[in-house]
Amino acid sequence: MDSNVKSSIHEQIVTTWLNGDDRGFDDDTDLQATGVLDSFSTLSLVAFIDDTFRVQLDPVDINAESFKSVTTIAELVSSKLNAAK
């Protein structure tokens, strides 16, 4: 997995939904259980991924399992980037 992908996603979540405060937040934090991601923020994050990495996510890719944490999202994005090569 590309560490730049993970750090970009982490940074986006912290600055957009956590007001820049990442205390108690790490790459394995459950984004749904903690209330960081809901349906609207998930769509916003999908748009960020598309704009930043030029990765088109299929509707089946956008689910609770793949959007559980920064790590799982970064793994999904990295797999899409690798498949496009």
Confidence (pLDDT) at 70: 98
Confidence (pLDDT) at 85: 74
Q: Is 16 helix (H, G, I), strand (E, B) or coil?
A: helix
Predicted confidence pLDDT, tens digits, the chain (85 residues): 678 999 999 999 999 999 999 999 999 999 999 999 999 999 999 999 999 999 999 999 999 999 999 999 999 999 999 987 7
Sign of the alpha-carbon torsion through 13, 15, 19, 23: positive
Write the DSSP string, 45-80: HHHHHHHHH--PPPGGG-STTTTSSHHHHHHHHHHH
CATH of 3-84, one of 3.40.50.2300, 1.10.1200.10, 3.30.465.10, 3.40.1280.10: 1.10.1200.10
